[in-house]
Structure 1
Amino acid sequence: MTLRLQLRDYRLTTAEILYRLPDHPALLQTYIWQNMDMAPSFPELRRFLDFWTRSLDGRLHSVRVAQQARLAVPSVRHAGAWLTIH
């Protein structure tokens, strides 16, 4: 399913959502959302944020979005160090 979405230009999208706590509006809380979505319109993220504003009490402060590159080849790296903690 993921490959099929990637072929349609969907990519793994992560959004860091900052919102105000309903009982303490001066405090901000973080929520991390992750799903397959398509830039630049982000229909899945917009659907989620619409649900948030309709259904949840925490007022949105800001949203920061990052996306994975298109069809990236998986990479393997060797560990630079091996540590043992007793």
Structure 2
Amino acid sequence: MQASPEFRKQMEGYGLTTAEIVYRLPDHPVLLQSYLWQDYDLFPDFPVLKGFLDFWIRTLDGPLFKVTVGHCRLIKPAELRALDGEFRLH
């Protein structure tokens, strides 16, 4: 049994990152639209989010207005500890 890729990322220090991306509509620049993005990323540099925003700027027509970021490490060092022993339940 192998650990999932998401669990491996969490063990490497990745945490769940959520970004609300507010952008202007290309046809109606006075109107704002909201997009919610979520992925595992590294705090405080956010390389995955920066890559997505670079893709957005290069490819999409809606110019960015504001990006709000929330981040939480799901597995913290104090929560993971080695246990010695084996317990069997019948």
Q: Is the structural similarity TM-score above 0.5? A: yes
Instruction: Tell me if the contact between 1:9 and 1:70 (Cα under 8 Å) persists in the aligned partners.
Output: no
When the two structures are superposed, what TM-score results if normalisation uses the length of structure 1? 0.80
Quick one: which of 40, 50, 63 aligns to 1:59? 63
Structure 1 residue 69 displacement after superposition: 3.2
Query: Between Structure 1 and Structure 2, whose CA radius of gyration is higher?
Result: 2
Moved over 6 A (4+): none
Please give the alpha-carbon distance, in whole angstroms, between the structure 2 residues aligned to 1:70 and 1:29.
29
Aligned to 2:27: 23
Structure 1 residue 25 displacement after superposition: 0.4
When the two structures are superposed, what TM-score results if normalisation uses the length of structure 2? 0.76
Aligned-pair identity in percent equals 53
SS, match of residue 14 in structure 1: strand
**Structure 1, unpaired ranges of 5+:** 74-86
Length, aligned pairs only? 73
Structure 2 residue identity aligned to 1:66: G
Please give the alpha-carbon distance, in whole angstroms, between the structure 2 residues aligned to 1:3 and 1:64.
25
**Structure 2, unpaired ranges of 5+:** 80-90
